[in-house]
Structure formats: structure tokens, C-alpha cells
Amino acid sequence: MDNSKIPQATAKRLPLYYRFLNNLNHQGKKRVSSKELSDAVKVDSATIRRDFSYFGALGKKGYGYNVEYLLGFFRKTLDQDELTNVALIGVGNLGTAFLHYNFMKNNNTRIMMAFDADPNKTGTNSDGVPIYHIDDLEEKMGDVRVAILTVPSNAAQEITNRLVEFGIDGILNFTPARITVPSDVRVHHIDLAIELQALVYFLKHYPLIEDE
């Protein structure tokens, strides 16, 4: 099937479904209901059924979905077998958290190298990942085209410009800075403060109702 037909909102949930189904499979489970999936991944059942219909997976009443079929489909769709190498820029606390985090577990992404401006950090390894000096960015990147940005805010745009000049395809921006890139570079921005503010805002204005 043509992946470009899957709505973006659905596409965004694919890695989530994949991870949960992979766990089920490891536990030897053969089938799963949309209710179980819903409880596990915190997406409502109706949305799951709609999402799955795009994958050509139609659950059977009283049986649910075939775990192996779904996994096969997701694996192909998410290109789980094709590894994407990623560079981490900025080995502070957040960057170090990323390095400790085992991306290889059920994942198709690997942090291959890291960069930092601190000479005390460069030339070392963290969790098996070499840390190079930021001055050597262009020289060391090789064919890596995806970067995680965990530098201080005031360095974010300058490093971004260098990445763009180098030919980066995508940046996962974890700095509070909003960075500017050409239209052919994809940026996903996760701002810790805004995530917290959004949670607090929802708590105040959209109270949840206890159902028990």
C-alpha cells in the first residue's frame, strides 16, 4: 500500500502501536483486542479501529487483531530493518540522558556520534558513542542526516545554520529556541517548559471526570 495515504495523525501513532505489539509478541500473545490496545497505548478504541483500517487490518468481533499480521505490516511500514543513524549535538544533562537511553531497543534509530564544545568531554565515549568537538561537525558527520539538538538555547540557531549548510534532513529540537530552517528541512520541536505549561493549562481548564 501507499504510505502517503495514511493521515499524518495516524502515522504519528505507528511507532507507539509497533512498540506495544512487539512486547505482546515477545510475551507469546497471538491476538489483541482494540480495547486492550487502547488501555495500553492510551488511544481510544474508535481511533485505533480507524487507524488500523488504513493498514488493511480489520479486527474480528470476539477475536481482535492478529498480532503477527500487524507487526509484519508495521515493521515494513516503519522500516524497522533499515537503521537510521543520528547525531546528538550537545552533551549536557539532556544530551547525556539521550545517550543513556537505549534507542536500539525496538528501534530503528541509533545515535552514532555526539558533539560538544567542551574539550573535557570530547575525545571520550559515552555509552559507546564517541564525542567529537563541535568544530569537527562537518568533518565527522559523514552520511548522517538527522540530528538531535540539545545545545544551550543561545547556540541553537548557529548550530542549526551549520547543520543546514551541511545538508541535514531533520532536526529534533529539544532547546527552548524556535529555530529557522529552509522549507525542505523537517524540525520537530519539543520544549520541556511548554509541555509542562500545557499540562498545567489542561488541568485548570479541562478537568477530567472520575469514572469509578
Q: Stretches 113-121, 127-135, 136-144, 190-198: which one binds a second copy (CB under 8 A)?
A: 190-198
95 marked among binding-site residues: yes
Nearest distance, CB of residue 186 and a second copy, angstroms: 6
Nearest to 107 by CA among 73, 133, 75: 75
Beta carbon nearer to a second copy, 66 or 107: 107
Between CA 195 and CA 200, with CA 197 as vertex, the angle to 5 degrees is 110
Beta carbon nearer to a second copy, 15 or 64: 15
Q: Stretches 29-37, 116-124, 129-137, 203-211: which one binds a second copy (CB under 8 A)?
A: 203-211
| Amino acid, single-letter form, for residue 49 | R
* Cα 67 to Cα 27: distance, rounded to the nearest angstrom: 11
* Cα 167 to Cα 87: distance, rounded to the nearest angstrom: 13
Beta carbon nearer to a second copy, 2 or 139: 2
Nearest distance, CB of residue 60 and a second copy, angstroms: 25
Of 81, 139, 143, 212, the residue at the interface with a second copy (CB under 8 A) is: 212
Q: What is the footprint of a second copy within residues 40-99 (CB under 8 A)?
A: 40-42, 78-79, 84, 86, 92-94, 96-98
Give burial (CB, 10 Å; 0-12/13-18/19+) of 100. exposed
Beta carbon nearer to a second copy, 60 or 194: 194
Q: Is there binding between residue 144 and a second copy (CB under 8 A)?
A: no
Q: Is there binding between residue 159 and a second copy (CB under 8 A)?
A: no
170 marked among binding-site residues: no
Sequence-distant (6+) residues with CB within 8 A of 205 are none
Element containing residue 166 per DSSP (H, E): helix 153-166
Between CA 73 and CA 82, with CA 79 as vertex, the angle to 5 degrees is 145
Nearest distance, CB of residue 61 and a second copy, angstroms: 26
Nearest distance, CB of residue 83 and a second copy, angstroms: 10
Sequence-distant (6+) residues with CB within 8 A of 35 are 45
Beta carbon nearer to a second copy, 33 or 96: 96
What angle separates helix 45-54 from helix 8-26, to the nearest 10 degrees?
A: 100
